[in-house]
Structures are given as structure tokens and as C-alpha cells.
Structure 1
């Protein structure tokens, strides 16, 4: 219901909302929840994570069973083996990036107002653990503005950073009072705890300016130093605001009031958000993520493309004399400078991209920031395509051991690649290739017509069959004209020719199923139609099922079809737990 409602309600008429679904690992339905997104047409507006407890992780280590608890009455309803549940979570995350993990007990260990409520979930990108009806109030400091000096030999201007932090805390506190809240409950909770989330963006660019590789202990140390400084200065600013305006209303009931602690204006102060859109506006790297690419092509209006090159790389290339238009084109094609011989080795070491950073360094950077962050850190751990299930399990355990509050991973190719199939090979003798002759059409055939919604309009697909199974396909785009109608007719003709020439229908389904465009549609029953080609595949597959024919192959649904950006048509990527377009800034989590 929530997924369908989110799909129907667009933000500003163009952007859709996003949701985070988190279920406790001891819920009786936990296995169904873990496997909920195996059908990639369902819950397309949700990120899902499992709420893991300390007790569960201890049971995983011991290979022991743990109890499932009925949330309505608190009574045990059964047991599962913790290691088997953990292994299933890891396997599905390896296959498609979900579910993620949220360490619930850690969220509540840092809950400043436990008497007000228990934290059970986060916002969609995971950086803000919230009580029911609390809201996000986030701001991020552009770190590149406080690094001075030549590129690769810069220094942090700590005085400038302290001044920015003080202004930002005051600004975010003002937002609470100036905001118009949609519900009374949200206003009461937001003003009762006055939570804010001050974080950073441009961390990867700042490291380059400082001459520090992202995948290094120096970067981990700098992360701790930066966020520790920001937290200390932010708390001082919140204390100053408390003296001027008073502590947050729930302070007496908070861990600060009950323990005679700091008098703060805000219950929480620091957060590391993904900053997908605002970092593009600022022209810097996202949040605390490594570079997405050193250079790439950005789609703009009227279908033209602009080459986007990291400004630090371009400046450094000019300064050190290895810049050339040919070099830039090669970097655009690769997205990376890792194997580009013309780029000096020390520069290649600095300009590493997300998929060149090992998963362990991803987690160590996240843990470094989490150490001094009141709320949580939004970050994606990137794995190469060849990573094993054991590699994912190791990182999940490492995140737990290093004190992270959650972990989201993405294995290269597990979401944005189309399933590859291998054509059947035939052994032939030398000579003239054999010629296929389509079998003639009988005078009378029987079939079924289905009306399937697509982004181009309602598509009427007829699949006719004979004794041998599906025989021909017709497609009609209703009132639509132009390219949509002509392309559907062309696709139907080619499918019919293939079927009459002896190509198994299951192979056609395999080739067309999952092809996505920038305007998907949803059927009445909730199924997702990714494109017109996908609609033809589903109609043919249903016709085969109606006739009692079994598919001769198994479809690999382990990938999630990110497809094209709904705003500019560029390829989508997965970053900080959200589907994002680096070309125009679109994000499902905005």
C-alpha cells in the first residue's frame, strides 16, 4: 500500500518519494521480509534493511538459535538459526544489494531521549535514526572551501571551519522555528527534541587537495579528526544557543538532563548525509563517498552531451603538463585513471573511484566518521563484480566490529547490468549456411489479447498459438501514434518471425524481459512494466503459462533494473543507499 501510494504521489509533479522499511530480525515474518525484493517489480520505492540486535549477532558468532517474538504480545513464536538467517541476508545482498543491516541496539544506545520513545527505523538513506513523527533537518559543509594551498599540498583552515560550524548550527536551529509542519504530531516531536544533522560533503575532493589517498590510513585519521572537530564545535554552538534560547523541551527527560550533562539546544547535532543533489550544485564529491568517476558525460537539454571532468584533476593535469584533449577522452571512456599510463602514478593514487576502493577501506572510512557522529552515516560499500558471498559477510561483520550503525553494500553489476545470455551454439559443416524457413501461417489460430499499461500508453498485445505453442504476436498502442506505434509493430513482427522460425518462446522472453526505459508503468496487481519490450515479454510468458508450457530456461532475477534516469535519460547508479543520477542530480531518496 505504501509503495503504491508513493508511486502515485510525485514530489513537485516530477520526483517520486522514497521509503525505508526496517523489520526486527526477531519478527516472525523476518524470512519473508528478507526475501521480499527478490521480485524486482515489487517494492520499487522502498529500501529494505533488517534491524539486527546484539543478541542476534552473538548468536551468529555462536551458530545458535534465537527466538522469534510476536510484537503484539511479546511472546515467543518459534526459533531460527541465527547463522542461517545471516547467511541468507548476505546472499541476497550479494545478489541485489538488499537487504541492508541496521544495528538497532546501537541506534538506541545513542538515543538521547529514550523516555520519549525507542528508535525503530531511519530515513530512506539511513543517516537519520528517528523516533515516530520526528523529521530530518540536515545541512552539510563543503570541505573544499576550508582547504587552502596548492592542490595535493593543502592545509585545513580549522578556524574557518569552526566559524562555519557555529553559523550552520544556528541556521539549522532557526529552520525548526521557521518551518511550516504538515502535521501537529511532527511539529510537537520536532520542536520537542530539536534534532539537527550537520555533516559534510566534498570529503574525497578535500583529500585530493590535501594529498591524501582515499584508501589509506591517513584518510581514516583525517576523517576522525574532521568529524571530531566538527562535533566539538557544534556542541559548543548548541550550548551557546541553549544559554540564549533555552534547552530543547525534552531535555529534562533526556540522558543529559537525568545525568546532569550538557545543556544543549539540540538533542542530536551531527549527521553524515549522502548530499546527492546539493553536492552536484556545489560541484564537489558526494558526502563522504569516494569519487564516482574522474570524468563522465552529462546529458543536457536537446539531447546533447557535456563532458564533466573533475576540476581538481583538470587543474592538476594543466599544472603538471600532462593535459591533452585525447587524455580527457580516454578518461571519460574509462571513468577512471587507474590504467592510464599518461597520468603520473602519484596522481593515479589520489584520484581513485568508488569501485577501486576496497570494501574494507569503505567500511573503515564509515566507521571513522561514525565514531563522532550523533546520528548515523549514509554510505555505500562498493564491491567488484567478482566479489564473493564470503567477502560480503566479512564486511558485514567488520561493520559490526568497528561500531557502524548500519551498512549498505552494492556489488558492481548486481543491479544495473542486463542479464547476459549465451546463444545456443550449433556445430555445422563447412559449406553454405543452413537457411531457416518460417512455417506458414494456418488459416485459423487462437489467442488471447491482453491490455498492459506502459509509459507510452496502454499496449494491447495479442499472442496467437498453434499446437506447437506461441506462434505469432501482434501489438497495438491504442491511440498513440508516431514512433511508439511503429516500434511496437516492428517488435511484434520480429517476434512472430522468430516464433515461426522455431526459436523457443522462452528465449524471446529472456531477451526482452527486464529491458527498461525512463517511463515504467504499474499494473493493477502491482507488477512493474519496465518498458514496451518488457510488456511483450510478460504477455508472451503468460501465454505460455496459459497453454501449459513450461519455460525452458530460468530467468535470473538476482539483478535490479536501475534503467534510465526518468529526468534526463542517463544511466542510474547506486550510491549512499539511493538510486542516483550523476548527470542531472535525480535521486529516489530526495
Structure 2
């Protein structure tokens, strides 16, 4: 980061406008003149067809922007038709379009004391965007400064009443929001349940039935005309009589997906048959209250209430209902949970109405028919060379950004009149941050550590305190928000609650004391200035997913998330990509005191293994610094929950974050996460158990040509009998054999089922990353998959033994002194280790002792060994008699045992991941085919910035 040109002083608010100081820029020097620019070609290829789906050559970016970031900006945010003079081709044009509009609106609406202050505002905002210090949310880049409606908000909350007009209007309003590239959420609890009567005497349909229509509508509208699905949230109160149906809705659909998948239909994410399944376009959340959660703790009944009268019409066992929520989430990741009393306890506008819902990712929680525009700071930009956090610059950046965000409401357009009115009356903003995980790692802090949590809390407190202080200063210049007067007492009460939470914050590391001291100072000003001036904004902060804009800022981590993995995807000049070790790791090792040569060895180990366990020279007490969301040392579920709880008291809104659980997690584990979220004071939680959903993209090459209409054959109904995969238990017995064949060294690792059958093998030959090592890895995976699908080992032994190629010759194995190739040796060794004597005898494969015995006695085995084999064969036959057979396939019955789950992967990607032990149920990008990674409750592509739904 460039050094400060002038010592910053606190900008001031005057009745006639704000005085803005220079922090990053120098008078008389434009930010663009301080960087080196270069031209690049941005070309994207469809991963299925191989065809170019996007091409723009000669785009201009600073030389320090990564190719990933420039690709995302060029494809997502440059406006104008490709191939025309109207098409933007430089980052300068994009920034000028947006910043110019903000500065112009600030001038017109009296935000600046002088023209010189307006110029400083423009230059400072430009510098920060140019140097990736922060970013506005995507709709700003899409729309601001164009001829399109100036929609700046990414998050919307709608409302629906118990009338057909309102329900149909809900469908329409969602459609317009999706079309504009944003997401929406709403609470359906006002709609009468299916257990209540209509005025005509009939029975109401209930909210779940109306969800079908909304889901179908969302499925037909691509978000912003670009992504595969819209983003939406549906909330239902826990005391609604249809709550159980709501809870089980998506879990039952997941059962349907599995049944159709097993019948041969294409049910992968994006598959042609998945559209027939309902409720797949929304995130579902149950809104629970303290009364219900206490009933769960006590094991007592809980009343479900009629929507019209409020009377209890049914009582249920609270603990049983809560467990059904956890079970459904275990099965399909829905529903999430929202804690109503905690949400409304921190509500600044209770006199206007309660908070009943959220946006699709659960971070924006405010009034019905409202919206919020977002911006996120890149925390790593505030880490000084001495590994201290730059408090002064962070404060200046936060106050300037919140000023710009408020200015945007003066010119913004909104999809409905109701949202327009509420947003202009309450001016909800959502400043947040990204790269927290990278910041903590760079500072040598574990994500799941007291030091990590206390720093995150102090930074969050400082950010929100600064935002509200600036909001009070803005109120003195351009007036408080229109709804402030009726909510003044409640708003000031919430400010004092934030201040009290800050006072209670205990700083673990002494070097964090300046961050907390600055936060304390900001909150004192908030309370003082707010009482005098009021506030310009009803809410100021939240933590969004920051998916696409996180990559625009070249962040290693998004939102509040930890590092996803220690190895990162990087696009290469001229096309292609590679995996590199995250650049935060060398800085963390330096911070922890490792010498350069030791650090280099650790980085090399991470590059080869993807984790730090066993890294040469790395102390075990430092492992936690490098813990990640997935992988060998993944952060435990409660580690995520504790981090959320640490920062929640310092946010106006909530946190977009999914608590990831391993595939082995139980229903009880999820129930515990939901219960602890309530006890720790969170506002919302979502969970995801690895591999709980079927949907997984299938790469099937180029699309086949459809037959012409007149040549179309009559539909043929066929029943397909598939082999069923029997996966190995999570903990299994393995053996590793080192060997030498013709001077070539290698290692053979084989794993077995509980009954001793071979189920997996790994071959390590040559240096990691070499062609030979890669071929052997692929070969091992293919054999392992086939073994788990039932191909007998003896079949491979027949095919691969006596296969001749170099290296060949002498081995160091006493049982197999000569080998005609490495493959010949491997399968003979496997035969000796896993096949019975009779099976080996048919193949002519014997141990050294058996061959010696034959020379001496004329028999390969002793009489005692022969008796033992006969007894073993008898036991095996008894075991087969105890097995059940599925007779649905007369020509190929499927053997079903009571042991491991036989349902398996049905895509190449999943098969590969399951065998290598790195299964992550994230989709492949629909545009470029890169493996996506979680971002809040959605997925985002590191290669092109595409998201799975959230804006």
C-alpha cells in the first residue's frame, strides 16, 4: 500500500457540508497517474463445448490486478455491447462512471462544504477502488452511471398478506427484483394455514402450496439475465400451524431427487430433469422465538396459532419439532434458523414495525418492503508491515465509504413504490468487510482462537461505530432519516447496547488494544452526536458473502469466512490455470518467526499435500493458524459459530455464513449448532453437511445433436439396472508396501473393507507433479472406483499380470523376485495380499514359502492350512446366505448388505473426489467449469466470478 501523503485528521461535519481530508491521495496528482497500466485479453471458454463464450481484447487494468480480478470485472461489470465503441474497455472508465455519479449526487444534495471537498472525495474514493481497498456491491457496478435504472441495492425484503391479490403481487415483485440482478426474502406467516377455514367455508391452501408458484417463477427468471437461478429466502414462524410441512418440504423433494436419479433421470445441478422438482430456488428458514427455544430445553409442549385469531389450535412437542428441523437440515441443508427475539432486540425502528424476514443470505434484516445497498472493506489492506492493524486509515476509509453509500440513496431507483418509500425514509446501509480469514492468518492467529475472535470483534466494533458516528454527522448536514423521530428513543437505546458490548470486549493480544481504544472513542461520539443530531441511517453494517466483489478485490477469503483451502486457483496469462499456495501463508510463517529456508520447505510441503500436518519444521502449536474451512484440518462447526457470536453484537444486521459440517455429522450435531446459536446470541444460522445433496454438475462433453422432428423415434421405455457402490468405512485398515522394480522405487498403499476385501489402492511413483505420478494417481482412482462398484480383484489380476514394459527386472520383494513391469508387480502383490489360496492357485501366483514347500513336498500348502481354508469357505457361504437380495432386476439382482451405504456418486467429479478423500459438495461453474467454493450460503467461482444465486 502506498504511504500516506498527508497525516489524516478527522473529517468534520458543518451545517453547510462535510470537510473531507486527503488520506491516500496528493493534491494535484490524480490517482490514475500513480499506477502502471497494461492491456490484457480476456477470453472465456465454455467448459462443455470448448467454444468461446466471451472475448474482449486489449482491456486496461493496473499491472498489480490479477488476471482473475480483471476477468471478473471485464465480463461482469463493463457495460456496452461487445464489439462497439460504446463498450467499456478500461477500469478507469468503470470507476469514473460510478465515482462520477456519486460525486455529482453529493454536490447536488449538499453533502460537501466546498468544491475542493467534492474533489477530494472523488479522488479518495477513486484511489481506494483502484487499489482494491473496498468495493461496492454488484448492482452498483451493473447500473450506476448507465442508462439503466440506477438500482444500487443487492438486498430486498418483501411482504405478503393473506389475500390472493397480495400473493400474486408477491410473484410479480420477486420477478422484477430477480430480473434486476438482486435477491429477495419474505415471511409467509401471515398466510392462513391449511388447517384453517376460509370465509367461504372451505379450507385454506396454506403457504407451502403458494411456495410452489413462486418457486416455478424464480426458476424461469435468470438473476440479472446472467446466472442460472434467482436468489430468494422464504421464512415461516415456528408457531405457524403448517410449520412441520414447511420444515420437511425440501427434504422430501431431496428424496424424490434420489429416487429419480436412481431411475436414470438427469438430476444433477443444471440437469434437464431437475426442473421437475419443486422448492429448489429458495433458501428456507424457520423463525423461532425464545418461548419455543425454552420449551425445547425443557421438553414441554408448544402452541401453534391460528393466523387470524392468534389462538392456539394445536400443541406439539417442542423438542420433537426442533429435532425435525435438525433432521431435515441434515438431509438437505434446509431449513436454516432465525432467532426472532434477538433480531428484534437490536431493532432501531420498532415503532415502525417488527423485523420479520431477511434477504436470501440472512445478513440484511430490516423492515418489510425495504432494501439495502452494500459495500465491503478488504481487511488485508489495513495490515501494516509490522503486522499491526492500521486503525487511522480504517476509520477514514469507513467514514468515506458510508458517506458514499448514503449519497447513492439520493439517486437510486427501486423496483416497487413501497420499497422506494421505505428505503428513502430509513436509508438502510450495509458496510462490511472481506478477507478476515486471510488477515488472521497473516497475523499468526487461528480462526478458531480467542485471539482471532477478539481481533475480529474489535475491528467489527470499530467499523460499525465509525459508520454510525459518520451517520450522526451526516444528520447534522443533510438531516436524519425520515423515520427517526418516531424511533429516536429505540435507536439511541440500540446505540448504547452496542457501546456496552464494546465496553465488555476483552482484548486478548496487547497489539489489538489500539483497535479497541479507537472503537471505544467512536462509540462515545456515536452516543453524544446521535443524541444531538439524530442519525442519517436506520442501520449501518452487516457481513455479506462478498463473493464476486471479493474476487474483484483479489481477496483470499470472503466475508467472515476462514480460508477455504491453503491452495488457491490462479488464472495464467495466455489461458489455463494453476493451483498455488495462498500468498498469505509465507507472511504468516514470517510473523511466527520461521527462517526463510524453513518457511520455503513448509510452503513446498503445502503445495504437495494441501495441508500442514507433518510439514517439516512447523511446530504443532502453530497448526491452528492454518486451519481451513475444508481439508485435513478443517475448522470444527462450533468454531464457525463462536466467530459469528464474537462479532454479532457489533453489527446492525446479521451475518451471511454457512456452518459447514462433515458428512459424518449427526442430526444431534446440527441440533446442537442451532441450540448454541440461540444461546450465544446470533440472529441467524444456516448449516451444510457435506454431500447431503444429490445435485452435482456432470461434464458430458459436447451436446449431442437432436434428431429432426420428422425423424424422431417413438419414445422407448427402458429399465436400467445399475451396479451399486459400496464405499469403504470412514476408518479402515490399510497397508503400505515399499518396492523396487528394475531400480525404480515406489509405494503401494491398499485399504480394505471390514471383511478383508480390497476396496482402494494408491500408487506413488516419481516426483509429485510429474507425468508419471499423475498417470498413476488417475490409474489408482479408476481401479479403486471399480473395486467399490463390485469388479472382482481377480479380474484385474488376470488382465494386468505379465504385462511387459520398462522398468522391469529384479525386485526387492522376496515373494516376487522378478517382475515384467511395475503393473505386473503391483497386481501380483495385491493377489498375494487379498486373494485366497485357491484364487491365486488358478492364476499361478504363490508366495516364496509356498513355492519352497512345493519343491520339498510336492504341495504348496500343508494339511493344517488346507483344513483352515475349508472351514473359512464354510463360514463365507453362511454369510452369503444371510444377505438379502433385491429381486427387482431379474437379470442382474443387486446384492444389498446391512453394512456401508451403497448409494454412491453418479458423476465423474464426485467419484474422483470420494476416492481421494476430498469430497466437497460444491458445484462446477456453469460458465468456465472451475470448482466453485462456498461464499456465505451460496457458491462463487474463483475463475470468472459467477455465483450460484446470491448477488
Q: TM-score range by the shorter chain?
A: 0.7 to 0.9
Distance 1:464 1:58 in 2: 54
Which of 396, 400, 411 is the matching residue for 1:167? 400
Which residue number in structure 2 is paired with residue 178 of structure 1?
411
Distance 1:243 1:574 in 2: 41
Task: Determine helix, strand or coil for the equivalent of 1:360.
Answer: helix
Q: How does 1:195-344 map to 2 (within 5 A)?
A: 195-256=428-489, 262=531, 263-284=534-555, 285-297=557-569, 304-314=576-586, 320-322=596-598, 328=604, 331=606, 334-341=609-616, 343=618
> Could you tell me how far 1:10 is from its partner in structure 2?
1.6
Which of 190, 204, 219 is the matching residue for 2:423? 190
Which residue number in structure 1 is paired with residue 626 of structure 2?
351
249-258 vs 340-349, which moves further = 340-349
Q: Does 1:502 align with 2:778?
A: no
Task: Determine helix, strand or coil for the equivalent of 2:486.
Answer: coil
TM (normalized to structure 2)?
Answer: 0.47
Task: Determine helix, strand or coil for the equivalent of 2:315.
Answer: strand
Distance 1:338 1:326 in 2: 10
Q: Does 1:45 align with 2:281?
A: yes
Checking the alignment, whether the CA contact within 8 Å between 2:441 and 2:585 is kept in structure 1 is no
Checking the alignment, whether the CA contact within 8 Å between 1:298 and 1:584 is kept in structure 2 is no
Task: Determine helix, strand or coil for the equivalent of 1:122.
Answer: coil
In the superposition, relative to structure 1, how do residues 573 and 145 fare at CA in structure 2: closer, same or farther (>3 Å)?
Answer: closer
Distance 1:326 1:368 in 2: 31
In the superposition, relative to structure 1, how do residues 334 and 277 fare at CA in structure 2: closer, same or farther (>3 Å)?
Answer: farther
TM (normalized to structure 1)?
Answer: 0.74
Which residue number in structure 1 is paired with residue 339 of structure 2?
103
> Could you tell me how far 1:242 is from its partner in structure 2?
0.3
> Could you tell me how far 1:141 is from its partner in structure 2?
1.2
Distance 2:434 2:561 in 1: 9
In the superposition, relative to structure 1, how do residues 132 and 80 fare at CA in structure 2: closer, same or farther (>3 Å)?
Answer: same
Checking the alignment, whether the CA contact within 8 Å between 1:108 and 1:114 is kept in structure 2 is yes
In the superposition, relative to structure 1, how do residues 147 and 327 fare at CA in structure 2: closer, same or farther (>3 Å)?
Answer: closer
> Could you tell me how far 1:4 is from its partner in structure 2?
1.9
Which residue number in structure 2 is paired with residue 571 of structure 1?
931
Which residue number in structure 1 is paired with residue 915 of structure 2?
none
Distance 2:563 2:935 in 1: 11
Task: Determine helix, strand or coil for the equivalent of 1:137.
Answer: strand
> Could you tell me how far 1:315 is from its partner in structure 2?
5.3
Which residue number in structure 2 is paired with residue 401 of structure 1?
679
Checking the alignment, whether the CA contact within 8 Å between 2:637 and 2:660 is kept in structure 1 is yes
Could you give the per-residue CA deviations for residues 490-525 of structure 1, whole angstroms, max 9, x where no partner exists? xxxxxxxxx999235999xx999985799xxxxxxx
Which residue number in structure 2 is paired with residue 116 of structure 1?
352
Distance 2:572 2:360 in 1: 28
In the superposition, relative to structure 1, how do residues 341 and 28 fare at CA in structure 2: closer, same or farther (>3 Å)?
Answer: farther
121-130 vs 180-189, which moves further = 180-189
> Could you tell me how far 1:135 is from its partner in structure 2?
0.7
Checking the alignment, whether the CA contact within 8 Å between 1:296 and 1:333 is kept in structure 2 is no
Could you give the per-residue CA deviations for residues 468-491 of structure 1, whole angstroms, max 9, x where no partner exists? x7799xxxxxxxxxxxxxxxxxxx
Structure of greater relative contact order (alpha carbons < 8 Å, 6+ residues apart): 1
> Could you tell me how far 1:338 is from its partner in structure 2?
3.7
Checking the alignment, whether the CA contact within 8 Å between 1:294 and 1:310 is kept in structure 2 is yes
Structure with larger Rg:
2
Which residue number in structure 2 is paired with residue 23 of structure 1?
236
Q: How many matched pairs?
A: 481
Which of 293, 316, 320 is the matching residue for 1:80? 316
Distance 2:343 2:477 in 1: 30
Distance 2:241 2:704 in 1: 38
Checking the alignment, whether the CA contact within 8 Å between 2:357 and 2:365 is kept in structure 1 is yes
197-206 vs 300-309, which moves further = 300-309
Checking the alignment, whether the CA contact within 8 Å between 1:51 and 1:104 is kept in structure 2 is yes
Distance 1:125 1:240 in 2: 31
Checking the alignment, whether the CA contact within 8 Å between 2:348 and 2:491 is kept in structure 1 is no
Task: Determine helix, strand or coil for the equivalent of 1:136.
Answer: strand
Distance 1:461 1:314 in 2: 63
In the superposition, relative to structure 1, how do residues 398 and 502 fare at CA in structure 2: closer, same or farther (>3 Å)?
Answer: same
Checking the alignment, whether the CA contact within 8 Å between 2:383 and 2:390 is kept in structure 1 is yes
More helix by share: 2
Which of 648, 659, 663 is the matching residue for 1:385? 663
Which of 225, 234, 239 is the matching residue for 1:13? 225
> Could you tell me how far 1:170 is from its partner in structure 2?
0.3
Q: Does 1:589 align with 2:950?
A: yes
C-alpha RMSD over aligned residues: 3.5
Checking the alignment, whether the CA contact within 8 Å between 2:340 and 2:356 is kept in structure 1 is yes
In the superposition, relative to structure 1, how do residues 309 and 115 fare at CA in structure 2: closer, same or farther (>3 Å)?
Answer: same
Could you give the per-residue CA deviations for residues 168-190 of structure 1, whole angstroms, max 9, x where no partner exists? 11011011112122222111110
Q: List runs of 5+ in structure 2 lacking aligned partners.
A: 1-212, 255-276, 494-529, 697-702, 723-887, 910-918
Task: Determine helix, strand or coil for the equivalent of 1:148.
Answer: coil
Distance 2:602 2:441 in 1: 23
In the superposition, relative to structure 1, how do residues 217 and 457 fare at CA in structure 2: closer, same or farther (>3 Å)?
Answer: farther
Q: List runs of 5+ in structure 1 lacking aligned partners.
A: 419-453, 473-498, 519-558
Distance 1:127 1:512 in 2: 36
Q: Does 1:133 align with 2:346?
A: no
Distance 2:217 2:705 in 1: 21
Checking the alignment, whether the CA contact within 8 Å between 1:118 and 1:131 is kept in structure 2 is yes
Distance 1:416 1:327 in 2: 35
